[in-house]
Amino acid sequence: MRNTGASFSAGQCKFTVWAPEKDAMQLVIDGRPPADMLKDEEGYFELDVSDIAPGARYRFAPAGGDSYPDPASHFQPDGVHGASAVVDHEAYRWSDAGWKGLPLQDLIFYEVHTGTFTPEGTFEGIISKLDYLSSLGVNAIELMPVSQFPGGRNWGYDMVFPYAVQHSYGGPDGLKALVDAAHAKGIAVFLDVIFNHLGPEGNYLPQFGPYFTDQYCTPWGNAINFDGEWSDGVRAYFCQAVMHWYEHYHLDGLRVDAVHMMFDNGAVHFWELVSRELNVMRQRMGRNFYLIAESDLNSPHVVKSPENGGWDFDVQWLDDFHHALYVLLDESGRDRYEDFGSIGQWGKAFTDGFVHSGEYVRFRKRRHGASSAGIPGEKFLVFNQNHDQVGNRVGGERLSMLVSFERQKLAAAAILLAPYLPMLFMGEEYGAQTPFFYFVSHSDEELIQKVVEGRRKEFENYKWEKDPPNPQDETTFQGSKLDWSEPERGEHAALLRWHRALIALRKTHPALRHFAKNDVRVNIVSDTCLVLHRRSADQQTELACIFNLGE
């Protein structure tokens, strides 16, 4: 499968760009005359350049017209509208040769937004917190998207260069340093990637090829072209992006955004293609790489093997667990999640997985989902909150700002004692009181107005009474940063100790290290009380966890 972008090795650089419907392409390197590239029959333009140094800035000019940054750029040192820069991936001196990854069942995730996790808002900032994370006991950082997005403030889902590392976070070398340092401390690093759309500013892909299709729609406009005319190049582009993160950044896996908004009705589904290529790559790399899906489908197909018609994800997010528990923790949540509310649903989330496994769901105005009863627990990831639930509240309130200290403790136990992979949202472990807002930093006035208005409209629909803070305003971003003086104080410190203790228990208790559904039982004691029974693989050890939601 073809690779694109600038591939630098030993003073030589091969430039490749896919533009099947263009007749001509020029490579425009800063300080040199434009050079014609040669097109092959698959629609790829190539040019080998010797005598070039890493860091060299370049663009591509399709059909003799304007020049644009490289769709497969590894680095945009001047932002999304600037030139791309050649990266020498051989230059970084890795020290993680001994890192073999972690078994899937051992993973305890911690979701991080690089820009707001630390005062620095960089990868280096995260490195300074690795000891803290180690002492907490989490062993898998899940970075919100770091692919290049417009400006310096963004959740990351507006990214427009899937292969590039955000310059304001520290660029390629910064990410490598983080992964290397994390591995040194026994912490895996996962990255959130978006394969269902590109952001609204700085998307130059349509200048090169038919990356998008009007055959299917997404909330963000036309869908990515995974099955139409010329889709081979699009499939290769996104498939190679997976390999790129694996190979060049030593990542331990990817969390893939909203896989239900990727449409592919061809004979070989995009994720089947990725599965094949990834198995080859795993052989080569000698350690594992996990794919985690955010899926709104409640479908077992997501984690099934391609032989069984599946997409071969290792893990999928279990939103139903969140919804079922959240409405029990916070009564006002029932307005937002009208199809949840009974403790039996939460029990089903523990024993089966999907709460909606074919039932009619009012919110969706249709039956939803299929049974996940046969799927092992390690194939699901659970959380009490993530960037979405917090950031999509008008006040950006975390769970800690909505429910009592005791209920936060119960919620922590729920995910950390569950037979699933748990994930904390940065700051959750100490009950942070700082909000997490939605923020952007676009440069186009019209787009900014659209985003601000769109956001206001969305909250009106949800019947929130006040307006959200202006996403473009820098104070909205600054106000979303964690306050690292908090965890040392009072109840924060107590909650932090509670998390440490639960994580330690999870790592050592034999009943908590066994995820088979047969050995997970739930007794519903009352409308507000449930007992979770876990049993060890050798059937010798049992654990009963009593969750009492009564006042």
Q: Residue numbers of the site for a second copy (CB under 8 A)? A: 20, 42, 214-217, 227-232, 260, 263, 265-268, 297-301, 304, 307-310, 358, 360, 364-370
- Amino acid 289 reads F
Q: Give the shortest CB-262-to-a second copy separation in angstroms.
A: 9
C-beta closer to a second copy: residue 214 or 474: 214
How many of the other CB atoms lie within 10 Å of CB of 379?
Answer: 23
Report H helices in 467-550: 474-478, 490-508
Structure tokens at 132: 């803290």
In DSSP terms, 381 is beta-bridged to 317, 421
Q: Which residues contact 287 (CB under 8 A, 6 or more apart)?
A: 99, 100, 101
Establish whether 257 is a catalytic residue: yes
C-beta closer to a second copy: residue 217 or 373: 217
- Is 508 exposed, middle or buried, given 0-12, 13-18 or 19+ CB atoms closer than 10 A? exposed
C-beta closer to a second copy: residue 300 or 469: 300
Q: Give the shortest CB-369-to-a second copy separation in angstroms.
A: 5
∠ CA 492-142-402 to the nearest 5 degrees? Answer: 35
Torsion of CA 178, 400, 462, 201, to 10 degrees: -20
Please give, one letter per residue, the 3-state secondary structure of 422-463: EEEECCHHHCCCCCCCCCCCCCCHHHHHHHHHHHHHHHHHCC
What gap in Å lies between CA 388 and CA 409, rounded to an integer? 21
Report yes or no: 359 and 367 within 8 Å, Cβ to Cβ.
Answer: yes
| Total residues found in the chain within this entry | 551
Q: Give the shortest CB-21-to-a second copy separation in angstroms.
A: 9
Q: Give the shortest CB-425-to-a second copy separation in angstroms.
A: 27
The one catalytic residue among 227, 272, 294, 339: 294
Q: How many angstroms separate the first and last alpha carbons of the chain?
A: 59
In whole angstroms, how far apart are CA 18 and each of 63, 68, 515? 13, 13, 45
C-beta closer to a second copy: residue 116 or 316: 316
Q: Give the shortest CB-36-to-a second copy separation in angstroms.
A: 24
The one catalytic residue among 142, 257, 272, 339: 257
> In what helix (H) or strand (E) does residue 181 lie, and over which residues does it extend?
helix 171-184
What gap in Å lies between CA 150 and CA 471, rounded to an integer? 14
- Is 464 exposed, middle or buried, given 0-12, 13-18 or 19+ CB atoms closer than 10 A? middle
Residue 107 DSSP symbol: -
Q: Give the shortest CB-273-to-a second copy separation in angstroms.
A: 10
C-beta closer to a second copy: residue 133 or 224: 224
Report yes or no: 227 and 266 within 8 Å, Cβ to Cβ.
Answer: yes
Q: Give the shortest CB-311-to-a second copy separation in angstroms.
A: 10
Report yes or no: 408 and 493 within 8 Å, Cβ to Cβ.
Answer: no
C-beta closer to a second copy: residue 19 or 496: 19
What gap in Å lies between CA 113 and CA 427, rounded to an integer? 11
C-beta closer to a second copy: residue 216 or 326: 216
C-beta closer to a second copy: residue 62 or 310: 310
Structure tokens at 349: 């989330």
Identify which of 208, 213, 166 has the alpha carbon closest to the alpha carbon of residue 191.
166
- Amino acid 491 reads E
C-beta closer to a second copy: residue 161 or 263: 263
Structure tokens at 177: 């340093």
How many of the other CB atoms lie within 10 Å of CB of 501?
Answer: 14
Q: Give the shortest CB-263-to-a second copy separation in angstroms.
A: 7
Q: Give the shortest CB-268-to-a second copy separation in angstroms.
A: 5
Q: Annotated active-site positions, please?
A: 257, 294
